[in-house]
Amino acid sequence: MSEPIGKKTMDAILDVTDELRARVRPSFEPYEGVYRLNDMAEYVSERDWDEVWSRYPSWWPHAWMLAENGQFTAEQIGRCTVDEIEELFASPAFEPEHAYYADAGEDGMA
């Protein structure tokens, strides 16, 4: 049986937020894929999102997206195993509230 990821790993995952926020932009190409980062409506391009997360394990962005996004606290996700994180993220019951994938719309403003 896998071990929970723990608080230290969850904190490291949440620290990636600083890298993502450094790439926030006010506008994008029309219909460009973007990720909303928070309830302040800060967005990064899909390309920047992928580039930042490419330096980390593939499940890290899933844990990041699950934590403090309307359904689970970071503490709860820290008590999950990687398999449990992947299961929660893939579940149709997961409905992100603040951070999610979208497109920039016709005017390029997410």
Q: Where are the domains of the chain?
A: 6-103
- What pLDDT was estimated at residue 109? 80
pLDDT bin (cut points 50, 70, 90) of residue 1 is: low
Dist. CA 34–CA 90, nearest whole Å: 19
What is the pTM assigned to this prediction?
0.95
Average pLDDT of the residues in 77-105: 97
Pairing of strands 100-103, 33-36: antiparallel
pLDDT bin (cut points 50, 70, 90) of residue 86 is: very high
pLDDT higher than 70, residue 94: yes
Average pLDDT of the residues in 7-27: 97
